[in-house]
């Protein structure tokens, strides 16, 4: 069995990873493409926990000329000259972003600290003036162009989503601060800016017209995250170690499940999908437990609030589209409770990683994409957030009970628990729509940690939901103000079970054809009847 290289999901320093022998997936061919040029000014947006801070740290090591740390990596075999450059590294995640005055103070302190490291004296009444003075002084002192690395550039604004004028104040300040980069171009060698959101070019980067955006550049689509080949090559020992503890699963089945849970992020339509690196690392460190690691990284509360206000459902996600030009006009400061329509919400969900590119719908006169959830982990996270928005109370007892009922095939108990949960959802947020109740049931089931797939496609049509446990497969059809008999009738008439017969037989699973009918009558607003056919 190959030896497993140690993994760290909490170390964002390239130097620490390399010196301490932690696993590092070689992405330096992408870095070489950027740093080999005489000068460069780049921007790239990616969702949280995708290795952006590690990328900034890698650039630091490159511009410090620390060639020894790159031994065995792709860039070490190139003609890169390893010249040193003075560095300005600004990480807005480490600054006070509670207030604009706090941000200005912590930013000024950071600039003075960098000046002190290089032994230069800077002056100015604002962080913007100090920034310009620092760039010029470092270039003159070191006789080399300055490398500017900015991480979490949008953190101050994202922390104030939905606050209207307050978010705009942060944006206006940062717009003036970042425009210094353009004005001091003669003193700069390299600039790399990264964050979660891609702001409109006419907004925060309006004066930075020399900035090259590689966010949706096919040449850099896999610079962040792991491809399938990178996963299997770099985590080979961990894969074997995980499989050794589970004799019931073969390698192909394991990799397929891993892909289903954590792969699927695609930032360019023609590019290979990638895994979230922190989710993969956390999975192996936890002993190979398939669970949600994405949710624990945190979700903007305003994003959840917007989804609830727009009465977003899982079915809406299946029809989500986004034009590439819309991203170029996106300004997150415009998102308020009154102006955030679904189009903007879909854009924000894409930028924060809850949605990813599915396919190109058309490219004339502009490129328009259909969107989807990247994988099961993210779909679960979104569902749990949506459920929390609809029903704030954490129902841990319901979660355990429904999971036990589904795993044991006790459909009656599962229905009783679902009825009780639905009875606690306030009437004013319920909708007289079949898709609303379908969404709520799927959200509840996802929250319980069972494998439920809404809108499963077959050659005969689309199944409302499929719930799978080791011993049972539930094929579920929902109806509103009709009957459970009609629901099960649709399952049998369209032969939805054809897709699952062989799987159930090979794995010894019981097939449940489950029809569920709801009523929106003011005295009910719940499940009125259900029918089950066992095969």
Give domain status of residue 326, yes or no: yes
Domain termination site, one of 339, 372, 405: 372
Between CA 98 and CA 472 the distance in angstroms is 50
Query: Do 152 and 199 share a domain, yes or no?
Result: yes
Residue 429 has pLDDT above 60, yes or no: no
Confidence of residue 1 (pLDDT cuts 50, 70, 90): very low
Residue 338 has pLDDT above 50, yes or no: yes
> Residue 166 has what pLDDT?
84
Between CA 359 and CA 432 the distance in angstroms is 32
Confidence of residue 330 (pLDDT cuts 50, 70, 90): confident
Cis bond before residue 209 (omega within 30° of 0) = no
Other Cβ atoms less than 10 A from the Cβ of 454: the count is 26
> Residue 33 has what pLDDT?
97
Query: Do 122 and 245 share a domain, yes or no?
Result: no
Question: Which domain does 339 fall in, by range?
Answer: 297-372
**How many residues does the structure list for the chain?**
535
Give domain status of residue 425, yes or no: yes
| 213 within 8 A of 63, measured Cβ to Cβ | no
Hey, what are 247's tokens? 């004799």
Query: Do 188 and 247 share a domain, yes or no?
Result: no
Query: Do 420 and 501 share a domain, yes or no?
Result: yes
* Phi, psi values for residue 60, rounded to 5°: -55, -50
Q: How many domains does the chain have?
A: 4
Give domain status of residue 104, yes or no: yes
Give domain status of residue 384, yes or no: no
Query: Do 307 and 287 share a domain, yes or no?
Result: no
Residue 198 has pLDDT above 90, yes or no: no
| 86 within 8 A of 120, measured Cβ to Cβ | no
> Residue 3 has what pLDDT?
63
Residue 445 has pLDDT above 90, yes or no: no
User: Is the model more confident about 290 or about 187?
Assistant: 187
Query: Do 286 and 302 share a domain, yes or no?
Result: no
Other Cβ atoms less than 10 A from the Cβ of 223: the count is 21
| 283 within 8 A of 289, measured Cβ to Cβ | yes
CATH of the domain at 99: 3.40.50
pLDDT tens digits for range 346-371: 888 898 899 999 999 988 788 899 99
Query: Do 250 and 304 share a domain, yes or no?
Result: no
> Residue 434 has what pLDDT?
83
Domain termination site, one of 267, 291, 315: 291
Give domain status of residue 2, yes or no: no
Instruction: Show Cβ contacts of residue 506 under 8 Å, excluding neighbours closer than 6 positions.
Output: none
The average pLDDT across 141-161 equals 93
The average pLDDT across 402-412 equals 94
User: Collapsing DSSP states into helix, strand and coil, what is residue 40?
Assistant: strand
Give domain status of residue 274, yes or no: yes
Residue 299 has pLDDT above 70, yes or no: no
The average pLDDT across 132-142 equals 98
Q: Which of 421, 450, 456 is nearest to 437 (CA)?
A: 421
Question: pTM of this prediction?
Answer: 0.83
> Residue 308 has what pLDDT?
72
Query: Do 142 and 178 share a domain, yes or no?
Result: yes
Residue 393 has pLDDT above 60, yes or no: no
Query: Do 352 and 487 share a domain, yes or no?
Result: no
Give domain status of residue 462, yes or no: yes
pLDDT tens digits for range 98-129: 999 999 999 999 999 999 999 999 999 999 99
The average pLDDT across 331-357 equals 78
> Residue 447 has what pLDDT?
75
Query: Do 327 and 404 share a domain, yes or no?
Result: no
> Residue 213 has what pLDDT?
92
Domain termination site, one of 317, 343, 372: 372
Residue 297 has pLDDT above 60, yes or no: no
């Amino acid at each position: 069995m190959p030896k497993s290289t140690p993994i760290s999901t909490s170390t964002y320093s390239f130097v620490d990873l390399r010196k301490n022998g932690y696993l590092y997936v070689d992405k330096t061919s992408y870095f070489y493409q950027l740093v080999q040029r005489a000068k460069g000014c780049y921007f790239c947006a990616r969702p949280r926990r995708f290795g952006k801070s590690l990328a900034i740290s890698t650039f630091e090591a490159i511009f410090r000329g620390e060639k020894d740390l790159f031994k065995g990596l792709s860039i070490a075999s190139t003609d890169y000259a390893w010249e040193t450059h003075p560095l300005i590294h600004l990480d807005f995640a480490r600054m006070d972003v509670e207030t604009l005055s706090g941000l200005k103070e912590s930013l000024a302190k950071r600039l003075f600290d960098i000046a002190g490291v290089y032994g230069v004296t800077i002056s100015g009444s604002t962080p913007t003036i100090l920034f310009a003075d620092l760039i010029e002084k470092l270039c003159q002192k070191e006789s080399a162009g300055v490398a500017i690395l900015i991480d979490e550039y949008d953190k101050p604004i994202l922390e104030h989503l939905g606050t209207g004028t307050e978010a705009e104040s942060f944006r206006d300040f940062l717009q003036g601060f970042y425009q210094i980069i353009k004005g001091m171009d003669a003193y700069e060698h390299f600039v790399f800016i990264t964050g979660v959101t891609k702001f409109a070019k006419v907004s925060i980067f309006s004066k930075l017209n020399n900035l090259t955006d590689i966010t949706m550049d096919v040449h850099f689509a896999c610079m962040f995250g792991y491809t399938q080949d990178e996963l299997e090559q770099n985590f080979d020992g961990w894969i074997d170690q995980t499989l050794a503890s589970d004799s019931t699963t073969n390698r192909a089945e394991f990799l397929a499940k891993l892909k289903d849970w954590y792969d699927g992020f695609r930032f360019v339509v023609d590019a290979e999908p990638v895994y979230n690196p922190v989710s993969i690392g956390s999975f192996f460190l936890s002993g190979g437990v398939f669970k949600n690691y994405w949710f624990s990284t945190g979700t903007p509360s305003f994003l959840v609030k917007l989804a609830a206000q727009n009465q977003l459902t899982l079915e809406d996600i299946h029809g989500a589209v986004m034009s590439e030009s819309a991203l170029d006009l996106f300004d997150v400061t415009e998102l308020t409770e009154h102006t955030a329509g679904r189009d903007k919400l879909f854009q924000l969900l894409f930028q924060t990683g809850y949605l990813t590119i599915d396919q190109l719908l058309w490219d004339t006169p502009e490129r328009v994409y259909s969107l989807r959830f990247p994988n099961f982990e993210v779909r679960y996270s979104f569902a749990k957030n949506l459920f929390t928005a609809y029903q704030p109370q954490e129902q841990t007892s319901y979660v355990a009970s429904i999971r036990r009922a589904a795993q044991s095939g006790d459909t009656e108990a599962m229905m009783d628990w679902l009825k009780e949960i639905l009875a606690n959802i306030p009437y004013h947020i319920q909708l007289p729509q079949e898709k609303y109740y379908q969404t709520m049931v799927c959200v509840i089931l996802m929250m319980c940690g069972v494998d439920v797939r809404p809108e499963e496609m077959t050659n005969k049509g689309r199944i409302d939901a499929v719930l799978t446990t080791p011993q049972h497969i539930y094929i579920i059809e929902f109806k509103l103000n009709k009957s459970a008999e009609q629901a099960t009738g649709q399952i049998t008439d369209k032969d939805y079970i054809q897709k699952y017969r062989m799987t159930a037989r090979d794995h010894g699973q019981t097939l449940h054809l489950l029809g569920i009918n709801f009523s929106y009558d003011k005295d009910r607003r719940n499940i009125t009847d259900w029918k089950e056919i066992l095969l």
